[in-house]
Amino acid sequence: MLKDLNQVLFIVGPTASGKSGLAIQIANHLQVQNIPTLIISADSRQIYLDLDIITAKEQARPKPFPENLKLSPYKIQGVDHYMLDILKPTESFTLFDFKELAEQIIQKHIGKAKIIIAGGTGLYVDCLINNYQIPKSQTVDSKIRQQIEQDYQDLLQKHSKQEACLMMHDILSQKDPKRAAQIEPQNIYTILRELEVIQRTGKNKMQLSSKSKPSFDFHMIYIKPERSDLYEKINQRVLQMFKMGLEKEAQNVLTKYDASLPSISSIGYPEFQRYKNNEISKEDLIAQISQNTRKYAKRQFTWFNRYTSEDFCQTINSPQEFQI
Could you report the per-residue pLDDT of 120-165, keeping only the tens digit for each?
999 999 999 999 986 655 566 788 988 998 999 999 899 988 888 8
- Cα dist. 174→75, 138, 198, 261, 314 in Å? 44, 23, 12, 25, 33
Question: Is 93 part of a structural domain of the chain?
Answer: yes
Those residues of the chain that have pLDDT short of 70 are: 134-140
Q: Please report the pLDDT score of residue 307 as a whole number.
A: 96
Dihedral of CA atoms 142, 147, 150, 155 in degrees, nearest 10, equals -150
**Are 13 and 54 within 8 A, CB to CB?**
no
What CATH number corresponds to the domain at position 23?
3.40.50.300
Question: Is 1 part of a structural domain of the chain?
Answer: no
Give yes or no: residues 162 and 78 share one domain: no
**Are 257 and 90 within 8 A, CB to CB?**
yes
Question: Is 237 part of a structural domain of the chain?
Answer: yes
Give yes or no: residues 88 and 164 share one domain: no
Q: Please report the pLDDT score of residue 188 as a whole number.
A: 87
Q: Please report the pLDDT score of residue 298 as a whole number.
A: 94
Cα angle value 114/33/15 (rounded, 5°): 50
**Residues in CB range of 129: below 8 A, 6 or more apart:** 10, 214, 218, 220, 312
Domain hosting residue 46, numbered range: 7-135+210-226+303-321
Helices 188-201, 142-158: inter-axial angle, 10-degree rounding: 140
Give yes or no: residues 128 and 57 share one domain: yes
Strands 37-41 vs 114-118: parallel, antiparallel or unpaired: parallel
Give yes or no: residues 185 and 278 share one domain: no
Cα–Cα distance for residue pair 18/244, rounded to 1 Å: 19
Give yes or no: residues 216 and 95 share one domain: yes
Give yes or no: residues 43 and 148 share one domain: no
Q: Please report the pLDDT score of residue 138 as a whole number.
A: 56
Give yes or no: residues 307 and 215 share one domain: yes
**Are 56 and 16 within 8 A, CB to CB?**
yes
Q: How many domains does the chain have?
A: 3
